[in-house]
Structure 1
């Protein structure tokens, strides 16, 4: 293995420590509310980790857990109450939602000023326009990893593999804002492997275990693996065939321990940013 390992777990710990120091100086506790509907097992683990990290950093964090049969109207009413609550600075609606609830309706119902997931159309538009706003947590975390690892982005050829609203598209916007030359690749891209080999910075976010092989990687490239996939034997793996890629890449994030911890750290960053902005204390 020749690639430098980019330790997202350590970077996330430093961010959470900095946030805790900042929160300790405030006259209030930033309020975060997570709304979970149903019993999705992965969501349960993730929400518990969010609550634990938020509480440890001094945030006022709580989860509102609604039954799986909750109607869309009931969920929207819950969100409206949180929008109106002055003690709540950040609202996160945990995905996936049950089939009777439209995801886009839930996202659009959140006050954009409290949208700490960064998914509201207004915040997505601000990002696309290069204006300040709340940015989706995972792409923000990737940018932290790149910055704190000393990766030079200005003028770099970046390829984002995946075009989701949650990761791929906002990731491309952030890299573009950092003066990269950005390509978004996806399942319909012709000769996907060749497109990836053009990248000096490759961000893989497709949700397919081991899809990106070692011969897709340019020698010395920086590889950011956003994928978190659980195999039948219980192992967690990314979208990149790690051992193959690490033999070629210059730097790579592991799974687990790479991008995943950054998502929660950046959720807390967004919550603090929202709290300061709402109170005019930024």
Structure 2
């Protein structure tokens, strides 16, 4: 058996089309153009590429993009002042401060300062709490993307045993909450779980978000299970260059799983698409408009 490949690129492209249609509707029916502000502090190359892609896709979806690039020596108070200005700007519906931040800036303080209504990353404690208690919330983008990709294979996730490997506030915890909302039976496991391999073998749906290259082996996977690999790890090749791998040993898993996301081309493309969706959702809420996505 060879697993079905879950195409994150195609799914993300379809979602971006839906976002663009929703933006057209907001403009035509309500005179609202959603705006996303992205703040980059410093010159981290990977972050710079990511911010550039976010800006490009925001404009392609018909939204306004506001980029703020600050020097690596920017103080925490300078960044917080900018965030407060963006909070007060009615043209800005979503605010994203690109992580990681330089050492002199406390990222928790920055996240806490972002208006929860504009927190399109879904990291503010108010949004985390609303998600945990089943209230409407802006939800972290990668977890939302994971659930959308799982639904590409299973129209209904009800009753599935879902194992989430990873307990971060960015992916592990929120994706577990989303899967509970989908009526899955959810276990959060991690690198210190006893008999992690045995726990993984129970999964009908396995979400790998532990941040360790190819940690989850093929024989850890239940035959026919759906595997969503969140990991993006750069590892060396024999020629001195590097390649990207996930948290799952892909070639091994391909022979066992029923469906699996590749790395790259799986969860990664979904993150920006879900960010755009969150921005539209935020714009609707801020303007008293019923959700249109």
Q: TM-score, normalised by structure 2?
A: 0.94
| Equivalent residue in structure 2 for 1:137, among 131, 135, 141 | 141
Q: What is the CA-CA distance between 1:214 and the residue it aligns to?
A: 0.3
Q: What is the CA-CA distance between 1:45 and the residue it aligns to?
A: 1.0
In structure 1, what is the equivalent of residue 37 of structure 2? 33
CA-to-partner distance for each residue in 1:121-147, whole Å, 9 max, x for gaps?
A: 000000000110100000011111122
| RMSD across aligned positions (CA) | 1.0
Q: Which whole-Å CA distance do the structure 1 matches of 2:289 and 2:202 have between them? A: 44
- 1:231 is paired with a residue of what secondary structure? strand
- Taking a change above 3 Å as real, the CA distance of residues 123 and 39 of structure 1, as seen in their structure-2 partners, is same
1:257 paired with 2:258, answer no
Q: What is the CA-CA distance between 1:234 and the residue it aligns to?
A: 2.3
- 1:130 is paired with a residue of what secondary structure? coil
- 1:100 is paired with a residue of what secondary structure? coil
Q: What is the CA-CA distance between 1:11 and the residue it aligns to?
A: 0.5
Q: Which whole-Å CA distance do the structure 2 matches of 1:134 and 1:186 have between them? A: 25
Gaps of 5+ in 2: none
1:15 paired with 2:15, answer yes
Q: What is the CA-CA distance between 1:246 and the residue it aligns to?
A: 0.8
Q: What is the CA-CA distance between 1:151 and the residue it aligns to?
A: 4.8
Q: Which whole-Å CA distance do the structure 1 matches of 2:154 and 2:184 have between them? A: 15
Q: What is the CA-CA distance between 1:29 and the residue it aligns to?
A: 1.6
What does 1:93-172 correspond to in 2, within 5 Å? 93-172=97-176
Checking the alignment, whether the CA contact within 8 Å between 2:214 and 2:248 is kept in structure 1 is: yes
| Equivalent residue in structure 2 for 1:70, among 74, 81, 84 | 74
Q: Stretches of 4+ moved more than 6 A in 1?
A: none
Q: Which whole-Å CA distance do the structure 2 matches of 1:164 and 1:87 have between them? A: 32
| Equivalent residue in structure 2 for 1:243, among 232, 235, 251 | 251
Count of aligned pairs between the two proteins: 282
1:91 paired with 2:95, answer yes
In structure 2, what is the equivalent of residue 82 of structure 1? 86
In structure 2, what is the equivalent of residue 56 of structure 1? 60
CA-to-partner distance for each residue in 1:81-130, whole Å, 9 max, x for gaps?
A: 00000100000010000111111101000000000000000000000001
Q: Which whole-Å CA distance do the structure 1 matches of 2:165 and 2:16 have between them? A: 28
Q: What is the CA-CA distance between 1:279 and the residue it aligns to?
A: 0.5
Q: What is the CA-CA distance between 1:40 and the residue it aligns to?
A: 1.2
Q: TM-score, normalised by structure 1?
A: 0.98
| Equivalent residue in structure 2 for 1:206, among 204, 210, 213 | 210
- Taking a change above 3 Å as real, the CA distance of residues 254 and 151 of structure 1, as seen in their structure-2 partners, is farther
